[in-house]
């Protein structure tokens, strides 16, 4: 796999982790809610990098 694919996966994982932490610390949200929002946002942000990495492999 090209390195651009792994950079995209790293972005997705980092944003998922950040969403989890924000959801866990929030008084109006839950841990799983923050994780779900972080995972979706991370995947949407990293999708172009992941797609380029898959297309060039």
Neighbours of 28 (CB within 10 A): 6
Tokens at residue 57, please? 């492999």
Share above pLDDT 90 across residues of the chain, in percent, rounded to a whole number:
61
Judged by DSSP in three states, 54 sits in helix
2-to-11, 22, 23, 24 alpha-carbon distances in Å? 15, 31, 32, 34
Indicate the pTM of the whole model.
Answer: 0.80
Tokens at residue 55, please? 């297309």
pLDDT at 3 over 80: yes
Contact 2, 56 (CB under 8 A): yes
Mean pLDDT, residues 24-36 taken together: 88
Distance CA 37, CA 22 (A): 10
């Amino acid at each position: 796999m090209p390195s651009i694919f792994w950079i995209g996966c790293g972005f997705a994982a980092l944003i998922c982790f950040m969403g989890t932490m924000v959801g866990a610390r929030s008084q109006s949200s839950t841990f799983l809610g923050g994780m779900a929002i972080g995972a979706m946002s991370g995947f949407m942000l990293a999708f172009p990098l992941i797609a380029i990495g898959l297309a060039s492999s």
